[in-house]
């Protein structure tokens, strides 16, 4: 392969990478060849997207990469159009994300496996304590299912088919979930709910519970 051919191939890979990242999160497990190209071309990707007011968040160890607005561009957001839009999150979705992030921290501390997988029933039990008491169990589960669908859409959860994960990757209880609905908590959640946020977790949950018991919640941004 001569230099011109190699440069053309690199330019093509660069274009594919930037377009893919503008569309959403890039996961190593979904496209290993594109991931390898990102490892080799990340400096060029950073230079290319910088002129668009974006920066690359690249976690090689966790296997994900995505784009976000540079902090200085965030401050001038009134002057520049957004390429990466903020997504308004309902209060219940924000609560679920916080609980899942806390669960991930506990899971990582145990060091038993690399993939955190929960059954729908386990997730329902996580959030139930922070919701007003209800005699309509079916309605409660339907509401939580709606919020879970939103989190799947955002890319923080992945719905799994029954018995989809290798043995040993499930938490206790997920294997025997009666309804067969299991979810993998994606590692990228760590990039959106950071350590500082998690340090204030108990205080935030107290405020959340007060809101759920009467006050009108305010929307949050992702």
Q: What does the domain layout of the chain look like in residue ranges? A: 3-75, 88-221
Asked if 194 contacts 131 with a C-beta cutoff of 8 angstroms, the reply is: no
Collapsed DSSP state (helix, strand, coil) of residue 11:
helix
State the pLDDT confidence band at 20, using cuts at 50, 70 and 90. Answer: very high
**What does CATH list as the number for 3-75?**
1.10.10
Q: Is the pTM of this model over 0.75?
A: no
For 60-70, write each residue's pLDDT tens digit: 999 999 998 88
Query: CB neighbours (10 Å) of residue 222?
Result: 14
For 107-148, write each residue's pLDDT tens digit: 988 877 778 999 999 999 998 887 777 667 888 888 899 999
88-221 has the same fold as 3-75: yes
Q: Is the pLDDT of residue 177 over 50?
A: no
CATH topology for 88-221 is Arc Repressor Mutant, subunit A (1.10.10)
Q: What pLDDT is recorded for position 53? A: 87
By C-alpha distance, which of 20, 50, 55 is closest to 35? 20
By C-alpha distance, which of 178, 156, 175 is closest to 103? 156
């Amino acid at each position: 392969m001569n230099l011109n051919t190699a440069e053309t191939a690199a330019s093509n890979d660069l274009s594919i990478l930037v377009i893919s990242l503008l569309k959403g999160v890039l996961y190593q497990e979904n496209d290993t060849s594109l991931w390898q190209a990102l490892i080799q071309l990340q400096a060029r990707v950073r230079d290319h997207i910088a002129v668009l007011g974006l920066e690359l968040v690249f976690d090689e160890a966790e296997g994900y990469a995505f784009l976000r607005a540079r902090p200085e561009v965030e401050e001038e957001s009134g002057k520049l159009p957004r390429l990466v839009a903020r997504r308004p999150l309902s209060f219940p979705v924000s609560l679920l994300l916080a609980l899942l992030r806390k669960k991930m921290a506990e899971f990582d501390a145990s060091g038993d496996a690399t993939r955190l997988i929960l059954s729908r029933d386990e997730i329902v039990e996580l959030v139930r304590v922070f919701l007003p008491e209800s005699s309509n169990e079916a309605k409660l589960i339907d509401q939580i299912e709606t919020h879970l669908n939103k989190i799947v859409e955002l890319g923080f959860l992945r719905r799994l088919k029954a018995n989809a994960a290798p043995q040993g990757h499930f938490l206790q209880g997920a294997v025997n979930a009666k309804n067969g609905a299991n979810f993998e908590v994606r590692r990228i959640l760590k990039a959106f709910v950071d350590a500082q946020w998690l340090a204030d977790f108990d205080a935030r949950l107290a405020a959340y519970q007060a809101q759920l018991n009467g006050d009108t919640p305010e929307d949050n941004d992702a």
